[in-house]
Amino acid sequence: MIRLIDLARPFATLVDPEEAHRLAINALKVFPLLSLGSDDPRLRLSVFGLDFTNPIGLAAGFDKNAEVPDAILRLGFGFVEVGTLTPLAQPGNPRPRIFRLPSAHGIINRLGFNNDGFSAAQTRLKERVQRGVVGVNLGANKNSTDFVADYVKGIETFAPLASYLVVNVSSPNTPGLRDLQVASALDDLLARVLEARDRAAAASGRKPVLLKISPDLSLPELDELVAIVQKHAVDGLIVSNTTISRPALLRDRHAREIGGLSGAPLFSLSTWMLAQTYQRVGNEIPLIGVGGVDSAEAAWAKITAGASLVQLYSGLIFKGFGLVKKIKDGLRKRLRRFGYTSIVDAIGADSRK
């Protein structure tokens, strides 16, 4: 199945990006997938109270509506994050809104949280029968009069169904959303969200709550954010979302389109922000590293910069689902090369570099 999808990948790049994405989702629904077998025990780890067979996850954005989480897990991922989901279904921003940057292996999107809403995803997640770590990434409706209330509703809706929950306040494509990263707003948001999580814990158990942050924060802004996160004992941070910055050497035809930049051009900035965050939180708050992971080398760099777990998405667009196995194989080789007995031993090893 992985081979069939990867053989079709060159043809998929010839069609509209959103149509190619829909084809991939439909293929995962239709074709039967066999388990790829168990992972090397050296790649196993426990993070924020959850057990992962390997540290490689699929980032939010691919399975927006929780249509194929189990199929994704059978592709060899250690976990998958569905969403971003909002209380009400919304169409997102006008098309075109996804732009490939082929020479840079990057993507610019201004989707705007297009999704089917909480109810549809809730129904699908209730029907899951396979075990595996599935996180739910939560957002707010563009026209909402109370962004915080949207996140609270998300916690209440998905706490019984999710392995972990993500408060996504860092997308650049919903006006005003990133303002929730400011200390005073974030303080209120986290207080209300975690209160909702604790209320739900009596019925469904205590679920980890993570915060997904922007790579465009200044270091003083990061200091303030980390202080609020530590105050509320947030379970983890995802570093990072897409960036509104544009590297000077980016030359693709669509390089100056408005939206969030992901893929290889985001790697350096997001990894630097990851290391900066790790220097501030150490092992107190686990980190998930995201941004430009398209090889074992890139995944290893995220882990040694401070990531306990790593997510990818854009890399699949250019290199296919076979990338997951290549990354895990490469991580095993690096563990042998550096004399580590577990992937845990490598976390943060190079953060000061």
Q: Say what the pLDDT of residue 57 is.
A: 98
Q: Is residue 352 part of a domain?
A: no
Nearest-10 crossing angle of helices 323-338, 296-305 = 60
For the chain, residues with pLDDT lower than 50 are 1, 4, 7-8, 10-12
**185 domain-assigned:** yes
- CA pair distance 81, 139, nearest whole angstrom: 13
- Amino acid 35: pLDDT: 64
pLDDT of residue 13: 58
Which pLDDT does position 157 carry in this prediction? 98
Q: Could you report the per-residue pLDDT of 6-19, keeping only the tens digit for each? A: 544 544 456 889 99
Q: 351 lies in a domain?
A: no
Count of structural domains within the chain: 1
Q: Which residues are identified as catalytic?
A: 171
Handedness of CA 155, 266, 20, 98 (dihedral sign): positive
Distance CA 68, CA 29 (A): 7
Is residue 195 in some structural domain? Answer: yes
Range of the domain at 26: 2-346
Q: What is the pLDDT of residue 10?
A: 47
Express as a percent the part of the chain with pLDDT over 90: 89
CA atoms of 217 and 2, how far apart (whole Å): 37
CATH number at residue 271: 3.20.20.70
Residue 308 lies in a domain: yes
Residue 151 neighbours by CB under 8 Å, 6+ apart: 138, 140, 167, 189, 192, 193
pLDDT value of position 353: 81
